[in-house]
Amino acid sequence: MMFQPGSGRWWDGPLDVEGLALGAVNAAAASANHYAGAPGRFSTTPELTAAAFDSSGLLRIAGRKAQGFVPLSGFRRTLDGWIRIHANYPHHERRLLQALGASTGRDVDQAILGIPSLAAEAVIQAHGGIAAAVRTRAEWLGSAMGRAAGAGHWLELTADDGTTSGAPLTSKRAHQPVAGPAGSGPEANHPAKPLAGVRVLDLTRVIAGPVATRLLAALGADVLRLDPPGMPEILDQYVDTCFGKRSAEADLANGTSRERLERLLDEADVVVTGYRRGALDRFGLKPRALLASRPWLAVVALNSWGNDGPWRGLRGFDSIVQAACGIAHVYGGPDRDGNWRPGALPVQALDHATGYGVAAAAITLLATRRETGLGGTARLSLARTAEELFALTADAVSANAAGGHADARPAAGQPARAGLPEPDYRTMPSSFGELRYVGPPLQVDGRPLDYAGPPPPYGTALMAWA
């Protein structure tokens, strides 16, 4: 729909990552323009979009680079091919080691080398670990999960039609954000902040969801992020994605926290969830259940694998989806010894593109609510975003779809950055030290948008709206 081929100048490689990036950001810009009632006010540029898709790679925290993948995460050779594993989080590392009966990274390598790829994938997943065998595109498309991943639209919106109640219901909120026509609400005085007064409950982690809510915060929303105690976010990842938000810890199994959560929901406008499918249902956070009890909400849910197919309840990450769906195979190439090995996209494009799609969905649902008094739901997945990327460059991967290796470009599956625009670096003081960062991928009336403030210390906010 909104995806068009890019120029091909940003990153070398067989897939049109540039087109995916621009399409996703333009979707967010279009939704912001519609909500603000000001066509063309929000737009993007190649410089802003390219930098935003590599925000963590360009970030400097007190002069140091942000942490990337830990040594245990990455591709491993198996008995009959390759697998990709993810162990950045301590609890995922523990599950991986338990699944393989290993105690060290060397043990993991030896164990996986003696197991077929699909068998290693199955045993790691069965223990709650994160892994996917490296499949060809044809193998993915021939699987039940691959067929399910390609179904439906990239961004699926479902508006509440009022059947729960005979008439539109109103929020329990003490005030409604921007309830009137364009020009009569808060954005009339703050054109860069059309979401001023909007309250966003952020129940996401890692990259895609936090990228979405980071943009909503940059557009003026009050974003409160909740994380479970005992499973802290990776610090550098948190710093990159929490500009302009507030951060609180909440044990939703605790009665007091549940009561506070209910109060937050009563006064929220948007709820964004980013956990695996069904993980939050026991807390009353299933999208349709939320909308049934609070019809004004805009509820956006994202996960790795979508709502259908045999993997719909599994955990996953951008890198793992790349391995499963054929991207890692397409980006494969010779290593330094001349042996073929899988590769990866130049940036975490599935995460970032999905994140900007989530932001677009949330803003679109808010615009619908302003017109009808009712909210709605939307859902996205990393696996579905991968299908959009392949659709942009179907001809380029047709040979790989037949099961053959793609052309080796470049070596070891590490795409060169051929013609990237120069980033617009900015600096900001924070409790983590001075931050050198790149801003949101949007400009407002021709001027780059920026974040309202630095990421706060982790878990320091109260479970209450500002």
What confidence tens digit (pLDDT) does each residue in 414-458 have? 444 556 778 999 999 999 999 999 999 999 999 999 999 999 999
Q: What are phi and psi of 36, to 5 degrees?
A: -80, -10
| pLDDT of residue 255 exceeding 90 | no
Instruction: Give percent of the chain above pLDDT 70.
Output: 86
Cross-strand bridge partners of residue 456:
none
For 164-187, what is the mean pLDDT? 35
pLDDT band at 126 (very low <50, low <70, confident <90, very high): very high
Which residues fall within 8 angstroms of residue 35, CB to CB, at 6 or more apart?
178, 194, 195, 363, 364, 366, 367, 370
pLDDT, residue 369, reads 94
Q: Across residues 377-400, what is the average pLDDT?
A: 80
Backbone angles phi, psi at 185, to 5 degrees: -110, -165
User: In terms of pLDDT, which residue wins out, 67 or 411?
Assistant: 67
Assess contact for 202 and 209: CB atoms under 8 A.
yes
pLDDT mean over 292-313: 93
């951008």: which residue's tokens?
318
pLDDT beyond 50 at 177:
no
What is the reported pTM?
Answer: 0.89
**Three state DSSP letters for the chain:** CCCCCCCCCCCCCCCCHHHHHHHHHHHHHHHHHHHHCCCCCEECCHHHHHHHCCHHHHCEECCEECCCCCCCCEEEECCCCEEEEECCCHHHHHHHHHHHCCCCHHHHHHHHHCCCHHHHHHHHHHCCCEEEECCCHHHHHCCHHHHHHCCCCCCEEEECCCCCCCCCCCCCCCCCCCCCCCCCCHHHCCCCCCCCCCEEEEECCCCHHHHHHHHHHHCCCEEEEEECCCCCCCHHHHHHHCCCCEEEECCCCCHHHHHHHHHHHHCCCEEEECCCCCCCHHHCCCHHHHHHHCCCCEEEEEECCCCCCCCCCCCCCHHHHHHHHCHHHHCCEECCCCCEECCCCCCCHHHHHHHHHHHHHHHHHHHHHHHHCCCEEEEEEHHHHHHHHHHHCCHHHHHHHCCCCCCCCCHHHCCCCCCCCCCCEEEECCCCCCEEEECCCCEECCEECCCCCCCCCCCCCCCCCC
Confidence tier at 459 by pLDDT (50, 70, 90):
very high
| Structure tokens, 72 | 């245990």
pLDDT at 395: 42
What pLDDT does 57 receive?
A: 95
The reported pLDDT for the residue numbered 189 is 57
Residue 372 has pLDDT above 70, yes or no: yes
pLDDT of res. 7? 64
The residue length of the chain stands at 466
pLDDT digits (tens, 9 = 90+) for 41-98: 999 998 999 999 999 999 999 999 999 888 889 999 999 999 999 988 888 899 999 9
Residue 405 has pLDDT above 90, yes or no: no
Residue 182's pLDDT band (cuts 50, 70, 90): very low
Q: Would you place residue 6 in the very low, low, confident or very high pLDDT band (cuts 50, 70, 90)?
A: low
Q: Which residues pair with 199 in a beta bridge?
A: 222
Determine the angle formed by the axes of helices 117-126 and 90-100, rounding to 10 degrees: 120
What mean pLDDT do residues 366-381 have?
94
**pLDDT of amino acid 400:** 41
Confidence of residue 181 (pLDDT cuts 50, 70, 90): very low
Task: Return the higher-pLDDT residue of 15 and 280.
Answer: 15
Which residue did the predictor score with more confidence, 231 or 404?
231
pLDDT of residue 178: 40
Q: List, for residues 201-222, the tens digit of each pLDDT value.
A: 999 999 999 999 999 999 999 9
The answer to whether residue 368 scores a pLDDT higher than 70 is yes
Other beta carbons less than 10 A from residue 173's beta carbon:
15
Two tokens, residue 298: 């805009």
Instruction: Examine the pLDDT at 291 and tell me if it is beyond 70.
Output: yes
pLDDT of residue 325: 97
319's tokens: 């890198």
Q: For residues 337-372, b (16+ Cβ closer than 10 Å) or e, as one string?
A: eeeebbbbbbbbbbbbbbbbbbbbbbbbbbbbbbeb
